[in-house]
Structure 1
């Protein structure tokens, strides 16, 4: 048995045991591990039992939350997070659109998978209910992304100048795989900035493999995503007035290290592909022809405002996209998570997603202000890192179909968990403490009146 297969089985078994004897959140960590390792599609899959590890880990999460549902509900009530309301609304829309979908069998199959994803993130929100558990979940994601970077480094580029075939279940395409690595940039920057020497070394190791993986996969959308999210966070690290004394020097060192590392792993093939971003005249090589598909999606939505279901755009692309952009095939993707949602579940579905993101951002803004008022600057920068991680994925997803992506909803729930453990739980605790104090004063007053009488 290979070392990777043996390690996977050991970690999987340890996660199952830890779920019942340490924390239910271990089940979600196992789920994250299975997602990235994708054991059914790896070369070492023949060396492990042929089980549905993803299904087992998902059921394990449900069992874990069910055993202590009342306790988890006290720490992480769903009603405080509007994102779940909007996510459930999108699920309902998918089932309703299935009645008019062009490919109903495909649509309902994908809708069921999306329903499972929403349930998973809702359960994860309850299980990951402390600062420490949130760190564990973030590191589990980073380790998974590092494994993908390791695979890309091991495989190397193929004949097309990219790495293919190393993705996850819902991200088999190279662009989808690269997008899944994008949020790791801002998260690693936070851990490197705030961590001790051992954490910094771990961040350098993981960051090097992830960066090399992004370079080898060669996705322009992922490049824009990592540049925007990591770049935005670096600006906050360097210039924010809320940093502590001495942190600017560390921030500047981090900037220099990050840029130097990026330049070191980037090769001529990478820069040649990235240079096509500005080559708008050659629409075939620059990818700017995607704008024509986005315009076609808007035209399609004008005639079908309630959506056409999964693959609806692909089936009708030839009716809306100019023939010169079809490249000999009529089965074309819209290449944007926003336009994907618009053509699948209509304007209402797109509005629901935007409402979800807006409600999360507004709550995050309140949480950041609250932790600053409490003098918890580190919590502020952690929430900011989670915001930047989500922002980077949204940028990358603007150029590929990621409306129902696992990592998108992971980033959403990670930020929601951060808001909960750093803000909502504290505010809830203060309200409960005030209520207890008021109750005690009331009982004391009643007792004193009784004595005086």
Structure 2
């Protein structure tokens, strides 16, 4: 058996054992080992049994959580978890009119797994140290993508993230979230840990550059500007220094391929008065127009999962459809590249309203820190991390307008972290008020 396979088995099994003997959080460690190393996508994966490694880790972690008498499991104690469950119930109902029953059933199963992850993250992370551990494991996991890209690809970084984040744009969005979380950890004065965080942040930014994702680079720039309105108190000078250094690093890592891709968005064919939009941007505009037509036909209840993909031959001209391949059953089709339109087409106004209302109330939790007194280091830490998680969620919403990230798993991770951190801040503030 190869060394890579042996390392995977060792880390995976060790985490699951420690989930029962130590803390359930170690079960999440095994989950992330399976998520990032993802045996089915690696050459050494053929040496291992054909298991659903991530799902098995999640289920075993859930069992360990139930058997841990020291932890009180939070099921539906917050509004966000109830909205997630409501959305899942609605997509279950959509089975009765979904265009493709099996494609829609696959999404139902996936979202049920998302709800399980939401519960696991909220209950497995119980203190500051475990939250730091969560972020560091993911940052190190992302560097594995960079390693694979370094040894396996010579062009744009793609196909190294496993089935759930195979495209360059989705890899970039996932890594960008971990980049923001890791960057804000630097503001928490973790002393010796900063020597690990700084090189990790540099590597994560370089990985994003390797994906050449214009959408994510624009989103990161927007988040940097927005963050200026929410500079953590007591570390303003440190924040400005890190942001300035990050900006310098950002522009220094911009390679000629990335600049060329930006120039292709609008290039001049004959004169400055006749701009020519690049083929990729033009096709995405045409897809959105087609989606508007699809939505008008069934605005309330939607068509079910992958509605745009299935209906595209009826609404798009042949030139904007992808070439027939074995993967798409030798049919000319076109997938969605916009989160908002995907939700509207797939789930109608009912599903889209539930989903985006959930996103809105999660993002508005950023206001929790306004009334936070920040009287000790732990409370300050949670305030900074609430900023990091809400800004990361905003980044995904911005990036989602250029790439459909409806099934991007890190979105659920952020939902769980935001509710977990904001609940901690609120409960701590209540304690302070009662003490006074």
**Are 2:183 and 1:220 aligned?**
no
> Residues 112-163 of structure 1: CA distance to partner in whole angstroms, max 9, x if unpaired?
12212222212321222322222221222222222212222333334xxx22
Distance 1:207 1:106 in 2: 37
Alpha carbons 1:278, 1:286 under 8 Å: kept: no
| Equivalent of residue 87 in structure 1, options 80, 84, 89 | 84
Shift of 1:192: 2.1
1:294-309 counterparts in 2 under 5 A? Answer: 294-305=288-299, 306-309=301-304
Cα gap change, 1:29 to 1:72, in 2 (>3 Å)? farther
> Residues 19-59 of structure 1: CA distance to partner in whole angstroms, max 9, x if unpaired?
12221122122212211221221123245555432132112
| Equivalent of residue 357 in structure 2, options 342, 345, 355 | 355
Aligned to 1:439: none
Cα gap change, 1:288 to 1:384, in 2 (>3 Å)? farther
Distance 2:25 2:279 in 1: 45
Alpha carbons 1:301, 1:307 under 8 Å: kept: yes
Cα gap change, 1:155 to 1:256, in 2 (>3 Å)? farther
Aligned to 1:188: 182
1:131-170 counterparts in 2 under 5 A? Answer: 131-158=128-155, 162-170=156-164
**Are 2:245 and 1:257 aligned?**
yes
Distance 2:97 2:131 in 1: 41
The runs of at least 4 consecutive aligned structure 1 residues that moved more than 6 Å come to none
Alpha carbons 1:307, 1:345 under 8 Å: kept: yes
Distance 2:10 2:319 in 1: 53
**Are 2:170 and 1:172 aligned?**
no
| Equivalent of residue 394 in structure 2, options 391, 394, 406 | 391
**Number of aligned positions between the proteins:** 420
Distance 1:148 1:167 in 2: 6
Distance 1:340 1:290 in 2: 13
Cα gap change, 1:154 to 1:209, in 2 (>3 Å)? farther
Aligned to 1:269: 257
| Equivalent of residue 78 in structure 1, options 76, 79, 86 | 76
Q: Whose Rg is larger?
A: 1
**Are 2:24 and 1:24 aligned?**
yes
Cα gap change, 1:362 to 1:388, in 2 (>3 Å)? closer
Shift of 1:231: 4.5
Aligned to 1:243: 233
TM-score (norm 1): 0.84
> Residues 192-233 of structure 1: CA distance to partner in whole angstroms, max 9, x if unpaired?
232445322222222222222222221222222332234533
Distance 1:277 1:202 in 2: 37
> Residues 252-299 of structure 1: CA distance to partner in whole angstroms, max 9, x if unpaired?
332343233323332111111133345594344452432332232222
Alpha carbons 1:18, 1:26 under 8 Å: kept: yes
Aligned to 1:314: 309
> Residues 150-187 of structure 1: CA distance to partner in whole angstroms, max 9, x if unpaired?
222333334xxx22221223122222222211112221
Q: Which runs of 5+ in 1 are unaligned?
A: 435-453
Shift of 1:190: 0.9
Distance 1:211 1:373 in 2: 30
Aligned to 1:8: 8
Distance 1:365 1:397 in 2: 23
More contact order relative to length (CA 8 Å, sep ≥ 6): 1
Alpha carbons 1:167, 1:177 under 8 Å: kept: yes
Distance 1:101 1:77 in 2: 29
Aligned partner of residue 182 in structure 1, secondary structure: helix
Give 1 or 2: higher helix fraction: 1
Computed over aligned residues only, the root mean square deviation of the Cα atoms, in angstroms, reads: 2.8
